[in-house]
Structure 1
Amino acid sequence: MLKPLALRAARLVESGLERIGDSEDDKPVLDSYLGYATPDGVLLRGRVLSHLRRVQPDAEQSKWMNLRQMVNLFVTDEVQGVTVTTEDGSVTGLSDAEGYIRLMVPGDFDPGWTTIRLKIDGQEPEPFHARIPDPSANHMIISDIDDTMIQTGAHSLARNLWTTFTGSALTRQAHDDATALMEAMVAGGRNPVFYVSSSPWNLHDFLEDLFAAEGVPRGPMFLRDLGLTEEGVGASHGTHKGAAIDTLLAVNPNLPAYLMGDSGQKDAVVYRDTVQRNPGRIKGVALREPAPGVGADDAAAIAEIEAMGVPCYHGPDFDGARRHWGFE
């Protein structure tokens, strides 16, 4: 009884927020996300919104101003049923109920970052970027974000929310040890990196700016839709992460993966299940301990990962993982 009432109340809040700033004169705009290569071509991702709410970060502004700007990122107005095409009109997609678009562009693309321009009819094309792995790549890295790459406190809901909503792309900080490990593993960009997180898609541009400011290697992100469903708000943490990792392993069939995460959000359990579903594909797992030690569930999952022949490092930082995996 309580769940239907809670969902009904949440939908009212969501509906009210989406009307903030709406105008009949608003023209839909494209919000681009980083795409990735598949055996069939390049998958481009983005969202159609009534307008974009973005600001240039200022390291000197107050936490109150940061809070106001962050809230604006979540007051999105999605537009359904908008046709989006490549600049030459060869590939067409339609935005779904939450405004999301996915266009598969066939062809062979040079390794590195490629740019493909998409457009809404009657508007100027917008650049969409996608990562194409190098044929000489030895592996890929799939990493969590909060408490793994950046300092958040995700294991504490109150601290996570405070840190997320009162910081900016210039005041938030990456973990130096995570950046050092990631830079060693990408080997000058030869090995691709992907980020899988329970953070919402609303933070994609914010995280892009934060990673650039902190020198974190760039990579396509798999974030979470916070749209309301009968199951609650978006997909569950484990379901979302597991599905994203399975997708990346499927579209990169020749690349084994290293998984990076933390013990604050049950990543050990998610990664154990990933190893079970994908035997022989995972070369190693590294877990940061944002709080001292690991819980019983994580400890059991770590033991199972190692029993399946996959090295699993866990500790307060990733310096030990860099030595453990030979990426000095």
Structure 2
Amino acid sequence: MATPTPHPSQRPHLAAVVEDHFYAAAGWALARAGWRPRIETYTGYGTPDQVRVLARVLLARPGPAAPNRDALRAGRRGFRHFLTVPAPHRRVRLQVGDHTSVATSDRAGYVDVELPTDAPLPAGWRSAVLTYLDGPDPCPTDAALLILDGHTRFGVISDIDDTTMVTAVPRPLLAAWNTFVRHSSSRRAVPGMPELYRELHQAHPDACFFYLSTGAWNTAGTLRAFLSRHAYPSGPLLLTDWGPTLTGWFRRGPAHKKASLELLMSWFPHVRWVLFGDNGQHDVQIYQEAVRRRPDQVRAVAIRRLTGGQQVLAGNVPDPDAEVEGSDVPQVPTVTGRDGAELGRHLAAVPGVLDG
């Protein structure tokens, strides 16, 4: 008789149980104080026939929402973005084009669903309408959607921390200071990167831009304000949850990036991507894996080089003989540089990147 294969435990991780009880108690107290669920939307994306809608149901003070919440959040100290209480297991109606369906927020309040559109949507910026169903005031909310059709051939997938924004994420103590204490509006752009991204957009007017980070969705408004303030091309943010999961204390950042890259490349096989990152964490390895899996969909990889001191503090041992360009797919060039200007000079030599 064969020995049955043991199944993994279905019991949630202790950290998730504690978090759920904490949020339940906080939600009960805030509800008694008059707070009500409100939908916070994020930018989704899709094809003419299928879209991914992203949002979160959070408890909010009574009264109308501020007209420019992103700008208000940009002036807060970092820790205040994490003082949110989700509204789990709430029903939300989603309308995209002619299609209507109902989704339920998860244990952290998130709504992340893929929907058909019934009738094809035109390419460009569109919107979904989300309506909260478990309260007396439905209050429909628009969620932006970037729709790409087969005519889109050029795209950029960019890391955020230390690629577009100087955040010193590889340096643990300074990263904590930047994330939880400093005002969000004090963040600086990596020199030359906004100009490089705008140059790419000018060379490819129909290009799409996606900003992929292991950062928390709590900071989405701040990041949108930062990208807008420095005139980066508009595009969806692809962030992750912050805190315990059903299987561990924290989500795995590299796994989030790998899954997001794979999803984008599978949804948009007609797009050839330029992948931007830095060598302070896992971007090099993640991008090399993507190149090996889908070499025909990557036009180039651009890696911002951090200083040796930053890499030491990140736990990496700098190796001057090690080449970031190491890849077994020679037809996909990899360039490196200290800032946007140096990366731009190298990318100018890659056919089809800056010459349109």
- Normalising by the smaller structure, the TM-score range is 0.7 to 0.9
5 Å-filtered alignment, 1:219-230, equals 219-229=235-245
Paired residue type of 1:175: V
Out of 168, 171, 195, the residue aligned to residue 211 of structure 2 is 195
Question: Is 1:314–2:336 an aligned residue pair?
Answer: yes
Secondary structure of residue in 2 paired with 1:261: strand
1:256–1:283 contact (8 Å) kept in structure 2: yes
Alpha-carbon distance in structure 2 between the residues aligned to 1:307 and 1:252: 21
Q: Give 1:13 deviation, angstroms.
A: 6.6
2:308–2:318 contact (8 Å) kept in structure 1: no
2:152–2:270 contact (8 Å) kept in structure 1: no
Q: TM-score, normalised by structure 1?
A: 0.84
User: Which of 1 and 2 has greater Rg?
Assistant: 2
Question: Is 1:172–2:187 an aligned residue pair?
Answer: yes
Q: TM-score, normalised by structure 2?
A: 0.78
CA 300–73 in structure 1, closer or farther in 2 if over 3 Å, else same: same
Paired residue type of 1:72: R
1:263–1:288 contact (8 Å) kept in structure 2: yes
Question: Is 1:76–2:84 an aligned residue pair?
Answer: yes
More moved, 295-304 vs 239-248: 295-304
Q: Where does residue 140 of structure 1 map in the other structure?
A: 155
CA 199–281 in structure 1, closer or farther in 2 if over 3 Å, else same: same
Secondary structure of residue in 1 paired with 2:185: coil
What 5-or-longer segments of structure 1 have no aligned partner? 1-6
1:143–1:259 contact (8 Å) kept in structure 2: yes
Q: Give 1:301 deviation, angstroms.
A: 7.1
Alpha-carbon distance in structure 1 between the residues aligned to 2:194 and 2:73: 23
2:19–2:244 contact (8 Å) kept in structure 1: no
Q: Give 1:98 deviation, angstroms.
A: 1.5
Paired residue type of 2:31: S
Alpha-carbon distance in structure 2 between the residues aligned to 1:298 and 1:138: 36
More moved, 11-20 vs 125-134: 11-20
Secondary structure of residue in 1 paired with 2:280: coil
Alpha-carbon distance in structure 2 between the residues aligned to 1:134 and 1:40: 9
1:153–1:290 contact (8 Å) kept in structure 2: no
Question: Is 1:45–2:54 an aligned residue pair?
Answer: yes
Q: Give 1:58 deviation, angstroms.
A: 8.8
Q: Where does residue 111 of structure 2 map in the other structure?
A: 101
Q: Give 1:138 deviation, angstroms.
A: 2.7
Deviations 1:175-197 (A, max 9, x none): 24111121122236410000110
Alpha-carbon distance in structure 1 between the residues aligned to 2:318 and 2:251: 25
CA 28–105 in structure 1, closer or farther in 2 if over 3 Å, else same: farther
Q: Compute the RMSD of aligned alpha carbons.
A: 3.0
Q: Where does residue 237 of structure 1 map in the other structure?
A: 253
Alpha-carbon distance in structure 2 between the residues aligned to 1:248 and 1:58: 29
2:191–2:339 contact (8 Å) kept in structure 1: no
Out of 21, 44, 55, the residue aligned to residue 35 of structure 1 is 44
Q: Where does residue 304 of structure 1 map in the other structure?
A: 326
CA 186–133 in structure 1, closer or farther in 2 if over 3 Å, else same: farther
Alpha-carbon distance in structure 2 between the residues aligned to 1:71 and 1:13: 18
**Aligned-residue identity in percent:** 27
Secondary structure of residue in 2 paired with 1:137: coil
CA 320–36 in structure 1, closer or farther in 2 if over 3 Å, else same: same
Alpha-carbon distance in structure 2 between the residues aligned to 1:232 and 1:262: 27
Q: Give 1:73 deviation, angstroms.
A: 1.7
What 5-or-longer segments of structure 2 have no aligned partner? 1-12, 312-316, 349-353
Q: Where does residue 345 of structure 2 map in the other structure?
A: 323
Paired residue type of 1:257: W
Question: Is 1:258–2:258 an aligned residue pair?
Answer: no
Give the number of aligned pairs.
Answer: 315
Q: Where does residue 127 of structure 2 map in the other structure?
A: 115
Paired residue type of 1:172: R
